[in-house]
Amino acid sequence: MEDLVEEGKALDEYEEETLENLGKFIKYNKQLQELNLSHCQIKFNLLRELLSCLRRSKSLLVLNVNGNPGITDELRSIINDKIHCK
């Protein structure tokens, strides 16, 4: 990651790009059932963006985001509402 900062690419921009690609993966992967993103240092605003992708995911049953600095009770509730398995 230090190389990215040295090349002038901000870490936040790198994080956003990574989450954008992960969001596309979640949206369009028809086989994905479980995703463990625990302890990945994902911040609140990036987690919210990622959660918007859950609406289109038809196969995802389990999403673990525990241990991230951005996880709140509000986001846990949103995850529970959006994941297709109750």
Q: What is the dihedral of CA 14, 19, 20, 26, to 10 degrees?
A: 150
Residue count of the chain, please give it. 86
Domain span holding position 30 = 2-82
Domains in the chain: how many in total? Answer: 1
pTM reported for the whole predicted model: 0.71
Tell the residue number behind the tokens 């870490």, with chain if given. Answer: 11
33-76, pLDDT tens digit by residue?
A: 999 999 988 888 888 878 877 777 888 888 898 999 988 888 88
